[in-house]
């Protein structure tokens, strides 16, 4: 839509505007008739028939003033020369063109309006006192100035309203975009939490079930240990799933369940050992990092153990933690090749993977300001490392 074109008016809006234009012209028409009577000549046929017809035509032309503003304004202004009753229509046309706030157009129409007022004297030769020519020039100029001022004020208001409407629509679009972005981020967060919480536990359960499926030479005690591990792992997976769903259903302000930290890594390794993984933990960390760093470190180790259980069952896994406050926290999870080569008898079945574990972990480590690397090692092993910043709390307080 062209911004220079004003919105179309309804029938009621058009009606009262045209009625107002006619009402403004009626006093001028009656005053002219009175002057003609005083001169003794009296109004002629043009005054009674031609003048109203021209005024009616000008009023009808005003209906299209918003579609063809300059053409209508000039037509009505020139036509009003032959009609005293069309004076109101001429003022409305001038005010309408002024709403566009284009100086050249306004100047041309205003000049035409003042000139038409001078030629109107020839249509109705009303005698005027000597030396009053300046009144005949000043009055049309004054009325034209008033019409232009009103029209420009209306135009400015129209532009302001349009600007406010556009700003409101823009704000609404931005709010919709932010809401969509927030929903996407929340979905990603939920997916990451579901993966971090459940993938590790279910992978261990699947690994134990795979051992039961492929090992026929296990003793009764070993079978009981594996079955008990599957039952406990499944129960813990359900509990963790319930915690995640509880957070999703909780109202704002409801406390979330405690998040894992660096102190939980020994228990994580112990659970992996109980499930059948050959895991060793080496740590030189004697301090406690921030919650974000500790939680991210826990998730790195968890993802490394989960991948080792999926892709290298039975292989030794080495977890190493190094670092100190004021430097960084280095985490590495290295696993050797699978104990059984694919395709041999007794091979434990490979578990399906989502493909989003390392991707989500990369995002999590990046949010913590760290770097994540993962790649195969010589001999068909795999190495997962992360470097997490560990600022000195004492230094942070001083700064």
What percentage of the chain has pLDDT greater than the value 70?
A: 77
What percentage of the chain has pLDDT greater than the value 90?
A: 9
Locate the domains of the chain by residue range.
11-174, 258-340+354-399
Q: What is the mean pLDDT of the chain?
A: 78
Nearest to 72 by CA among 35, 105, 117, 29: 105
Q: What tokens appear for 131 in the block?
A: 């030396």
What residues of the chain score a pLDDT lower than 70?
A: 1-10, 40-42, 120-122, 125-135, 186-187, 189-197, 199-200, 213, 240, 243-258, 339-356, 393-399
pTM for the model? 0.47
**Cβ-contact 357, 193 below 8 angstroms:** no
CA dihedral in degrees (223, 228, 231, 234; nearest 10)? -100
Record: fold of 258-340+354-399: Heat Shock Protein 90 (3.30.565)
Nearest to 319 by CA among 335, 306, 307: 335
Residues in the chain: 399
**Cβ-contact 89, 21 below 8 angstroms:** yes
Query: How do 327-335 and 381-390 pair as beta strands?
Result: antiparallel
**Cβ-contact 335, 310 below 8 angstroms:** no
């Amino acid at each position: 839509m062209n911004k220079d074109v004003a919105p179309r008016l309804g029938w009621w809006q058009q009606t009262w505007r045209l009625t107002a234009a006619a009402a403004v012209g009626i006093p001028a028409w009656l005053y002219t008739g009175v002057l003609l009577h005083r001169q003794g000549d009296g109004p002629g046929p043009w005054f009674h028939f031609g003048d109203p017809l021209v005024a009616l035509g000008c009023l009808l032309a005003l209906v299209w003033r918003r579609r063809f503003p300059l053409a209508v304004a000039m037509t009505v202004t020139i036509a009003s020369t032959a009609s005293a009753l069309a004076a109101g229509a001429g003022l409305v046309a001038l005010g309408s063109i002024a709403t566009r706030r284009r100086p050249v157009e306004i100047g041309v129409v205003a000049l035409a309006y003042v000139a038409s007022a001078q030629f109107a004297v020839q249509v109705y030769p009303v005698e005027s006192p000597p030396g009053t020519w300046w009144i005949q020039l000043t009055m049309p100029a004054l009325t034209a100035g008033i019409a232009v001022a009103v029209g420009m004020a209306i135009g400015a208001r129209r532009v302001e309203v349009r600007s406010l409407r556009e700003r409101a629509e823009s704000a609404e679009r931005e709010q919709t975009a932010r809401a969509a972005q927030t929903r996407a981020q929340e979905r990603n967060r939920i997916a990451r939490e579901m993966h971090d919480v459940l993938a590790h536990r279910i992978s261990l359960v699947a690994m134990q079930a795979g051992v039961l499926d492929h090992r026929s030479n296990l003793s009764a005690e070993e079978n009981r240990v594996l079955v008990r591990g599957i039952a406990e792992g499944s129960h813990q997976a359900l509990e963790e799933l319930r915690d995640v769903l509880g957070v999703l259903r909780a109202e704002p302000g409801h406390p979330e369940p405690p998040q894992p930290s660096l102190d939980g890594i020994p228990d994580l390794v112990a659970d992996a050992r109980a499930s059948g993984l050959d895991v060793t933990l080496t740590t030189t960390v004697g301090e406690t990092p921030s919650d974000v760093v500790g939680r991210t470190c826990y998730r790195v180790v968890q993802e490394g153990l989960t991948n080792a259980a999926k892709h290298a069952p039975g292989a030794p896994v080495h977890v190493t933690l190094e670092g100190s406050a004021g430097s960084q926290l280095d985490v590495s999870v290295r696993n050797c090749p699978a104990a059984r080569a694919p395709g041999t008898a007794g091979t434990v079945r490979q578990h399906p993977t989502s493909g989003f574990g390392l991707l989500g972990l990369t995002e999590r480590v990046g949010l913590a300001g760290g770097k994540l690397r993962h790649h195969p090692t010589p001999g068909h092993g795999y190495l997962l490392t992360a470097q997490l910043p560990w600022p000195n709390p004492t230094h942070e307080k001083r700064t």
